[in-house]
Amino acid sequence: MPWARRMLVEERRWLSDEEFSEMLSLCQVLPGPNIVNMAVCVGTRFRGARGAIAAFLGLLSAPFAIVLALAALFTQYGELSAISAAFRGISAAAAGLVVAMGLKMASSRRLRSAMALFALAAFVGIALFRLPLGLFLLGAAPASIAAAAWRRR
């Protein structure tokens, strides 16, 4: 997702920062991996159904082949300390990319608005107080929808 954001927003400028955030919000609600949902949404936006299919196949073909090759290599050589250290390093780099994307998205106007309080409440309720996600959403979703409707007036 961090690489997709950089390509779509910063390099290609196909989406604005605000459009990316809105599309990501939609993709997180849909079932399936967020990046696949994002690819399908962007493909559909620019080229319809054919664009969605092309984006889906373009997104998954190369990584699928790479993961198969890495899995075969890991099965054969995974017990070597250098290999496990390399995978730990890759994991740290991936975590850093996700944090960097989150920081970039946090600078958007939407997250500086009063509506960001709902995101903060979700983090506190679910991550810190360990409330069940479904139970939390039963209360927070109607409240956030009502706040957004009131704000549009």
Looking at the fold, whether 99 and 49 belong to one and the same domain comes out as: yes
Q: CA torsion angle for 112, 114, 120, 121 (degrees, to 10)? A: -170
Looking at the fold, whether 60 and 130 belong to one and the same domain comes out as: no
Looking at the fold, whether 73 and 21 belong to one and the same domain comes out as: yes
16 backbone dihedrals φ, ψ, rounded to 5°: -80, 170
Looking at the fold, whether 82 and 23 belong to one and the same domain comes out as: yes
**CA-CA-CA-CA torsion sign (109, 114, 118, 121):** positive
Tokens describing residue 148: 């957004």
Residue 75, amino acid: T
Give every CB contact of residue 118 below 8 A, 6+ residues apart in sequence: 140, 143, 144, 147
Give CA 96 to chain center in angstroms.
14
Looking at the fold, whether 6 and 48 belong to one and the same domain comes out as: yes
Return d(Cα 102, Cα 87) in angstroms, integer: 23
State pLDDT tens for residues 61-101: 998 999 899 889 888 888 888 888 888 898 899 889 888 87
pLDDT at position 153 is 79
Looking at the fold, whether 80 and 14 belong to one and the same domain comes out as: yes
Looking at the fold, whether 32 and 82 belong to one and the same domain comes out as: yes
Looking at the fold, whether 87 and 138 belong to one and the same domain comes out as: no
What is the value of pTM for the model shown? 0.53
The boundaries of the domain holding residue 137 are 113-153
pLDDT at position 111 is 60
Number of domains comprising the chain: 2
